[in-house]
Chains A and B, each alone.
Chain A
Amino acid sequence: MPEMTLIEAVRETLRSEMRRDPDIFMMGEDIGPRGGVFLASEGFVEEFGEDRVMNTPLAESSIIGIALGAAVNGMRPVPEIQFADFVWPAINQLVGEAARVRYGTNGGKTAPMTVRVPYGGGVRGGLYHSQSIEVLFAHTPGLQVIAPATPYDARGLLRAAIRSNDPTVFLEHKRTYRLVRGEAPDEDYLEPIGKADIKRAGSDVTLITYGLMLHHSLQAAEMVSQSDGIEAEVVDLRTLRPIDGETILDSVSRTGRAMIVQEDTGAVSVSSEVSAIIAAEGFFDLDAPVMRVTPPEIPPMPFSPLQEAEFMPSPEKIAAGIRQLDEI
């Protein structure tokens, strides 16, 4: 099985899907000859032409609005928002419009579109190139929100998103693009939307996480295993809407202890929802209160390196949290 980085997994999946289905096209800022600022579409103009790899004006609302119109008229657009921090001008077209197409027409129209959104920090991106924007979309009925953490999942889930008949926000953590390598076969496989995946088995504590924090959590799990003999199970949510409550609850029923790790600030977030799921359905399995490891409640995230590092949940902070939770 070939090993590749996460950005390579995204690029190869986009390439094979574009080859498979002529109704798929990409649009976004600098995705043409430049190949996108992260090179997700490097070499695509040469293969697919400028009509299917369309450079757009710097105007996010219309990137999504135009993609939406094309989607309801038979295409499968894959628009790119260059940085998640720039998605806000497009919120109305995504949350107000795309999410309501199927429901608001009683099924008369659908919007099969996959909005790719590079997000997340730890890249010296400061306040406007570091944001985690998932919670607003994860709050919205009518959207699917996917946040893969590995090249294998990126391939299977991006394929599933593009072939899905509903609008999907596909979140790619920028720090994982070149940091994370993994095996990802050149086969036409799909990973199910809405299913979490247990990335590490363990019996003492359940860590629930996604994105870059999966890798920090896995490191933390190894640290506490070696230093304290605590075995943490690590659940990778992979999909943030809908959240796979069953996998979470099944794991918590075996470990009795739950910790949610996320890079987004904690108040009214994915971790809040997971906490609520566990409180409502897993209460009698708990041996300790649900714990969260999240950044401080400041606008994400400072540009200067010491402050940025302090903001991010690190493997060390997560490991300290696991030890604390295990002692309760």
Chain B
Amino acid sequence: MSQSPIGTAAETDLRLPPGLSQERLLDAYRTMCLSRALDIRIWTLNRQGKAAIAASAQGHEAAQVATVMATDPTRDRYLIYYRQLTAMLMLGTTPTEMLIQFLARDGEILSGARQFPLHGAHPRVDLFSFSNVVGTQLPQAVGVALADKMKGRDAVTISFFGDGAASQGDCHEAMNFAGIHKVPVVFLCENNRYAISVPLEQQMPVGSIASRAFAYGIPGVEVDGTDIVASYEAVKEAVDRARSGGGASLVELRVERLLPHTTDDDHTRYRSEEDIERMRDMDPLPIMEQMLRRHGILDDATDAEFKESARRAVDDATDEAEALPFPPVGDMYSGVLESGMGGNSHA
């Protein structure tokens, strides 16, 4: 995989690939700060007994902003999974809309609070996630992309998944079909080395998900997912390939999961102290901050302003979301089938 053009010396010019300006990088960092502040708040709301469940995006932020920046939200499609908080914000979901999901309040945009957070369909961008069963979105994404290919549309479908989902049969079936039919899909793996508690070496013998691409006749690359420029370049190349008729790609972004799997997990039961210490070096926020400072894109005042405005936005969103009621009980009966609930006619 191509290396990031970022040098280590402070005087090195930052050479940015087409489509990635300094302004966009700064904006991405602003969203990463917001995502981190929101993520911390969600975890707190869980510990307060207000948010029933949360899966944190901490550690995945740079990978997700890079991926979204490499796509076109006005025409592309996103099949996410549960760890995509940062991607959701990048795609224009507001902090209030996100907190309403975690607090399961009335007016929840994705599923009417029927589902866990980050599940359902987005009303403004073509983003959806039906399931908690990992890997099911991969063949679905291939079908979404197949429809675009059949209709001659230039949309690209991004199928997010983790290293855990890579073990599912659906992952193999989806990539195999996508390779055969050259459908415009990008398989975007955020590999954080853990499927809940099962480490990568107990999930697969080769340690690389991208290496499987060869077997499906598609390109596969493995990139440091804390390196926003390298991640952007890899995803952009895959998106451009899909959009121009070149078919599917597999992009593996290596990240660290900085918190346990969910609020119900305790990773000290299965991660060593050294492992936990080492992963902190892969926190994408300080990595990004230092990179931007090194190249004179970020100064103290701007950084402080980003972090302060993120805190304010999260405080305001918390107040707004907590003020809302739960959805009325009667709302649970709608939308089973177009014709009604679809139960037997005597009932």
Contacts and interface: CB of A to CB of B under 8 A. Distances in A.
A59 interface: yes
A104 B169 CA distance: 23
B342 A144 contact: yes
A243 interface: yes
Contact of A59 (B176, B335, B337, B338): B176
Contact of A144 (B144, B146, B334, B337): B337
Contacts of B173: 57, 59, 61-62, 65
A70 interface: yes
A9 B36 CA distance: 59
A114 B4 CA distance: 48
A273 B144 contact: no
Contacts, number: 174
B116 to A, nearest CB: 10
A110 B119 CA distance: 15
Contact of A57 (B138, B170, B177): B177
Nearest to B347: A245
Contacts of A77: 143
A102 B143 contact: no
B144 A65 contact: no
B111 A280 contact: no
A73 B336 contact: no
Contact of A25 (B111, B150, B170): B150
Contact of B344 (A96, A97, A193, A277): A277
B330 to A, nearest CB: 14
Contact of B335 (A96, A107, A164): A107
B163 to A, nearest CB: 20
Interface in B142-173: 142-148, 150-151, 169-170, 173
A71 B123 CA distance: 18
A62 B139 contact: yes
B284 interface: no
A144 to B, nearest CB: 7
A104 B111 contact: yes
Given A62-B174, A105-B111, A110-B338, A69 B147 contact: yes
Count class of interface residues, chain B: 35 or more
Contact of A67 (B143, B334, B341): B143
A56 interface: yes
B140 interface: yes
B128 interface: yes
Nearest to A101: B130
A280 B144 contact: no
A225 B91 CA distance: 70
Contact of B120 (A108, A110, A142, A281): A108
B177 A104 contact: no
Contact of B346 (A72, A75, A143, A280): A280
B254 interface: no
Given A93-B136, A164-B338, A243 B150 contact: no
Contact of A70 (B147, B174, B335): B147
Contacts of A246: 345-346
A70 B178 CA distance: 13
A299 interface: no
Contacts of A71: 143
B335 A102 contact: yes
- Chain B CB within 10 Å — which of A61, A65, A142, A166 has the most? A65
Contact of B170 (A61, A102, A110): A61
Contact of A73 (B115, B123, B148, B337): B148
Nearest to B142: A66
A66 B177 contact: yes
B343 interface: yes
Contact of A92 (B122, B136, B176): B136
Interface of A: 25, 51, 56-57, 59, 61-62, 64-75, 77, 89, 92-93, 96-97, 100-110, 141-144, 164-166, 193-194, 241-246, 249, 273, 277, 280-281
Given A69-B140, A105-B130, A106-B114, 12 more contacts: A59-B173, A62-B173, A65-B139, A69-B142, A70-B147, A74-B147, A102-B338, A105-B121, A141-B341, A165-B338, A166-B339, A242-B342
A-B pairs with the 6 shortest C-beta distances? A69-B143, A65-B139, A245-B346, A108-B121, A62-B173, A106-B112
